[in-house]
Structure 1
Amino acid sequence: MTRFTVNDNPVEYKMDPRTPLLWALRDASNLTGTKYGCGTGECGACTVDVDGQAVLACQESIASLEGKFVVTIEGLSENRSHPVQQAFIAANVPQCGYCVPGVVMAAAILLRTNRAPSEDDIKAAIPNICRCGIYPRLVAAIDHAARLARGEENTPGFGG
């Protein structure tokens, strides 16, 4: 039995310890915000926060998470109040929305460690694949989220 914390809740998964975190989250915990994109660790749709690091849930076995803290898109904020979520909504970033949870998680992790990322920092931290091609809006929204998080702007309105 594997035990760790997901979104501030202790969990115990009684399943094969080699099960990828993605399937434990989606099937056993009904946390479907983390998306299955490629299953090979290339697209980033399944990005979650594990102890402050961006981790691809399709590549991480639940056994490797014993005692760790996992945050999914559902646990980022209760009411979409996180600066990244506010900026994405204000900039109308999502199109199909499939890549968005992974991108939001990667961006939130970036802003926790780098409060003033450059455009290059943002691009390096967000290697996610988006089939809709929202990359320019995505970068602008993450820059806007950084300004919100730093308190340089107090409104979620998008000016960039």
Structure 2
Amino acid sequence: MSDPLKYAVVERERRYLLARLPDGVTSTKEIVDRYVTGTRLRLREVREGDGTVIRKLGHKVRLTEGPDEIACTNFYLDDEEWAVLVALPARTLRKRRHMVARDGWLVAIDEHEDGTLVAEIDDRDEPSDRVPDWLDVVRDVTRDEAWTGGRLAR
């Protein structure tokens, strides 16, 4: 049997609730995620600041018991593919993603429709517990299922 994760990229992300958006935002984009009902599939539409629209289909497989280590495979979609797939039943999550580049860190901060701020730090291949001191962390929600995109979607 072939390896079902052969083309997947492993994400090791930590997530933190923040009290405020820090200084150093380098870019902002609008994201709409559609979690396809009954699957591990996510449709994502990203609107960049310059008006560029990127659409993709993602497949996520957990590698550990919690949501902190996930194998992801993404396919970029054209308009026709998007039109077919976006008709599937799904729960939706809308957010504004701010990228903060500061002091050697690159942190994605999602601003949800209710104003909640969730920072994501990608550990890549080196798991860490370090957090930049300029992030005003309220709580670590890395392993809290309630703060995963699939759970936040409505």
Flag whether TM exceeds 0.5 (same fold).
Answer: no
Structure with higher helix content: 1
Structure with higher strand content: 2
The structure whose RCO (Cα within 8 Å, separation 6+) is larger is: 2
Task: Give the alignment's TM-score, normalised by structure 2.
Answer: 0.29
